[in-house]
Chains A and B, each alone.
Chain A
Amino acid sequence: MSSDAPASTTPTTARAIVAGHGDFAAGLVSAVDQITGRGAQLIPVSVAKLSVEDIEALLRSRMQETNVRVIFTDLQAGSCTMASRRILRGMDDAVLIAGTNLPTLLDFVFADSRTPPDAARHAAERGRAAITVHGAGA
């Protein structure tokens, strides 16, 4: 790299956890990284075979290790969402986004001028608006 080259502005510090069923987290984070190169902002957490108590302990541990205060989950009724809501009960500065999709995470990783909780709220709105229907009379 020459000395005139702009410094990279791609954040590499983890800013959020992604958790859900099956390979949901790894798949979405992989997709974010492929599209933006910013996948390092997201920590994928797999919870297969874990009890609700262990899911809660795992997510809490990841949050403490990384000082992350944002969790993205897949399903409102999912175990990761339930566990996250228990964690948030004693953590006023944390945010949970349930129903996460790829547009949500793409918006989040580019909103690095905002605080992570603020970026998460903004990303949730963007993800909600990104669902469209085409064809068959739509």
Chain B
Amino acid sequence: MTLELYRIDDRLIHGQVVVGWGQPLDIAFIVLVDDTVATSDWEQELYRMGVPPEMDLYFHTTDDAIKQIPRYRADPRRGLLLTGDIDTMRKLVDGGAGITSVNVGGIHFRAGRTQRLRYVFLTPDEETALRELDARGAGVTAQDVPGARPITLSDMLAGDELE
């Protein structure tokens, strides 16, 4: 199969990812790319306990993930790649990982961020980074759960979809 979804979600492993996307897409493994988590046994154990036993969870630093992504794409099972921030996803794209679509699943409030969607808050620098990702061919859409309508980057940044 392949990596079905490349998702930016600052909650990393949580219900929407494991259940919301994992079940309908029949996800058998998750590739979690995070420099902090990849070097912490405690963090890895925390996230491992959040996935069902039949689902594999792999941890990589950003640099390592760029090398490993082709192997995951060749895996006969369906997988999902997850980063906790835009910068990490941008490094994967810049590193030639061949990512052609990026799902923005959740970037929550923090000082300096402006709300763009119910589940997306961005700083001006993060908006620029998303535009750059999109311009490089990694089409950016926002969609928190599979049943929701994908929202284009331009609609997201316009804030027109705010409820």
Residues of A within 8 A of B (CB): 21, 49-52, 54, 74-79, 81-82, 85-86, 89
Contacts and interface: CB of A to CB of B under 8 A. Distances in A.
B11 interface: yes
A51 B19 contact: no
Given A49-B108, A51-B11, A77 B51 contact: yes
Contact of A85 (B10, B11, B46, B109): B46
Contacts of A76: 49-50
Give the interface SS of chain A, mostly helix, strand, loop or mixed: loop
Contacts of B15: 21, 74-75, 77-79
Give the interface SS of chain B, mostly helix, strand, loop or mixed: loop
B109 A51 contact: yes
A42 to B, nearest CB: 21
A58 to B, nearest CB: 12
Interface residues of B, number: 20
B46 A86 contact: yes
Contacts of B47: 82
Nearest to A89: B42
Contact of B109 (A50, A78, A81, A86): A50
Contacts of A54: 108-109
B92 interface: no
Given A50-B108, A85-B46, A86-B46, A79 B11 contact: yes
A49 B10 CA distance: 11
A77 B47 CA distance: 8
A54 B113 CA distance: 14
Contact of A81 (B10, B50, B110): B50
Contacts of A52: 10-12, 14
Contacts of A86: 46
A51 B110 contact: yes
Nearest to B14: A79
Given A75-B15, A77-B51, A81-B50, 11 more contacts: A49-B118, A51-B10, A51-B109, A51-B110, A74-B15, A76-B49, A77-B14, A82-B11, A82-B14, A85-B49, A86-B46
